[in-house]
Amino acid sequence: MEHVAVSPWVALAYLVSGVLFILALRGLSSPATSRAGNRYGMIGMTIAVVTTLLTHFPMVPLAPKPGSFCIDSCGQLPDWIAAGEIFAAIAIGGAIGFVIARKIAMTDMPQLVAAFHSLVGLAAVLVGLAAYLNPDAFGIMLPDGQINPVSRIELGLGIAIGAITFSGSVIAFLKLAGKMSGSPILLPGRHVLNLGTLIAIIGLVAYFTQDQSAWVIATITVLSFIIGFLLIIPIGGADMPVVVSMLNSYSGWAAAAMGFTLHNTAMIVTGALVGSSGAILSYIMCKAMNRGFLAVIAGGFGAEASAAGGAAREQRPWKRGSAEDAAYMMKEAENVIIIPGYGMAVSQAQHALREMGDVLKKEGVNVKYAIHPVAGRMPGHMNVLLAEANVPYDEVFELEDINSEFAQADVAFIIGANDVVNPAAKTDKSSPIYGMPVFDVDKAKTIFFVKRSMGGVGYAGVDNDVFYMDQTMMLLADAKKMVEDIVKALQH
């Protein structure tokens, strides 16, 4: 495949695609504009892919040289055959993606995102290894047959980040899909082991600039796969939203590094956008969870907190309510605030919840939904589920916009949430969630708390004082069934 000089039209096309990617990120910042954001991203990626293909493959297929139907005298595939292989790969991948997108349930989106991140990381590793094995085809070989030292740095970093993204995303997928325990797996001396492995990878990348032996790049690849596992295994389920966001950032940086190797401006720009936006989102979520940003990168953050959940709980009195109780109290209320959490996602109760909200609104009740930034298993998880259930965007509010309204709320309806409404985050300095912003549900006149049983204490592993408050009624049942029963009670 020949390298073609970059024309001004190619640069312009990549610039347009870059602008569209920025507009896509802007659109995805709000559920109301997310559809437009997706369209911008699709158009931008189409322009980038088509431009790249046209750059390397002429519009008119090239005829192979005489006597070289499959492989020419230089040992390269004729352009028309290589182009056919690429279009076939695009068709197969596109078909698989289309089927998955049609079949995947919204509750399975977190693990799907993690799986996609792993594929991006693996692609970066494979491209890097291909460039190492055939540097001349990538235009990074010097006249003496050696790889350009700058390109060696790009290769080393791209392969390392890609391998970390792949193996880390595999662990995240297994945890999110329930195929692996969501509890943290704490290895002895894990911080020393992680730090030592990372230092070894960085040292080998630096050494790779002086020695391009196969053992160097192979060791970098293997160690990077290992550190990806080590960084994610100690992380508990409660911290998965930040993990998914951080892995998204890693995949972007891996793509950017490979963009330099491929001399592809679109990959560099797109990778940098994904990497920087993912890092910024991770930083915002770390603040929302009272976590240190550097602790996220190091791995194992929050593990001690999650491990503390095995402590014995004090037996305290609590009140049990029923669907009829909840229906009567909410029907008589003026203001109801609904706080969804991961339990809603597991039971797929979002549609029943929206129906409950619609019935209450017909009775003249003011209904609002309160979303915590780390509720669920990935950034925006609750927003996506409520949007799928056609909950109006203007009824959904973030923590900082609605927290002051709980003092005027007649009912706080908590469905499947736990740590994000735990007042221990504000009062108990020994609590693992201390300092994390939480909803002030304790200020509401009446609280209905939907959860499966009193045995659960949330991912952070700490008890919740809200369970035992005078104004709290526990609704112990599957979230979807409980909400459906409330809807029936409201209608009769």
Name 33's Cβ contacts closer than 8 Å, sequence gap at least 6.
26, 27
The residues facing 450 across adjacent strands are 415, 475
The residues facing 414 across adjacent strands are 339, 449
Say how far apart CA 431 and CA 305 lie, in whole Å: 8
Q: Which two tokens stand for residue 330?
A: 């909410």
Is 419 a known active-site residue?
Answer: yes
Q: Single out the catalytic residue among 144, 211, 401, 419.
A: 419
CA angle 289, 290, 292 (to 5 degrees): 110
Residue 418 has, within 13 A of its CA and on its CB side, a CA count of 20
Q: Which two tokens stand for residue 152?
A: 């060696």
Ramachandran assignment for 6, one of left (phi > 0), alpha (psi -120 to 50 degrees), beta (any other): beta
Q: Report whether 471 contacts 447 (CB < 8 A).
A: yes
CB atoms within 10 A of CB 34: 18
Say how far apart CA 236 and CA 350 lie, in whole Å: 25
Say how far apart CA 471 and CA 365 lie, in whole Å: 20
Q: Report whether 27 contacts 37 (CB < 8 A).
A: yes
Query: Considering only CA atoms, which of 117, 116, 147 is closest in space to residue 261?
Result: 147
In DSSP notation, 68-85 reads: -SSS-TTS---HHHHHHH
The residues facing 474 across adjacent strands are 320, 449
Say how far apart CA 334 and CA 336 lie, in whole Å: 7
Q: Report whether 447 contacts 441 (CB < 8 A).
A: yes
Say how far apart CA 464 and CA 471 lie, in whole Å: 14
Say how far apart CA 383 and CA 377 lie, in whole Å: 12
Task: Tell the residue number behind the tokens 């979520």, with chain if given.
Answer: 285
- 284 sits in which H/E element: helix 265-289
Catalytic center residues: 419
